Amino acid sequence: GAGVSQTPSNKVTEKGKYVELRCDPISGHTALYWYRQSLGQGPEFLIYFQGTGAADDSGLPNDRFFAVRPEGSVSTLKIQRTERGDSAVYLCASSSRPGTDYNEQFFGPGTRLTVL
């Protein structure tokens, strides 16, 4: 497909479990971003990758959250010991012009995570 894809679309887990969320960016986009959106709020930045490296992880809430992008394309967001407060929609976006004045980010449909 031409757009950003995310799997799974929905994930229900129990408190304390480990989850992985996957993002496939638009082909050729060097920058990849993860955001989290809670009910009634706008997306909140988590982490940004330029190529394989995390260029800015200042939005990760704590050390239970970790993300990788080993080959500079697909990324996985990993959450350990999930808590009920982690329930949200996790959005991934990609961009071809990071760091410029015209850095439109293109979003995937999101993964809705529910922690019971």
* Residue ranges binding other proteins (CB under 8 A): 4, 31, 33, 35, 40-45, 48, 55-56, 58-59, 91, 93, 97-110
Residue closer to other proteins, measured from CB, 36 or 80: 36
Residue closer to other proteins, measured from CB, 82 or 94: 94
Nearest distance from residue 81's CB to other proteins, in Å?
26
Residue closer to other proteins, measured from CB, 18 or 29: 29
Instruction: Report the alpha-carbon distance of residue 89 to residue 73 in Å, rounded.
Output: 21
Nearest distance from residue 40's CB to other proteins, in Å?
7
SS (H, E, C) the chain: CCCCEEECCEEEECCCCCEEEEEECCCCCCEEEEEEECCCCCCEEEEEEECCEEEECCCCCCCCEEEECCCCCCEEEEECCCCHHHCEEEEEEEECCCCCCCCCCEECCCEEEEEC
Nearest distance from residue 26's CB to other proteins, in Å?
12
Residue closer to other proteins, measured from CB, 51 or 109: 109
Nearest distance from residue 101's CB to other proteins, in Å?
5
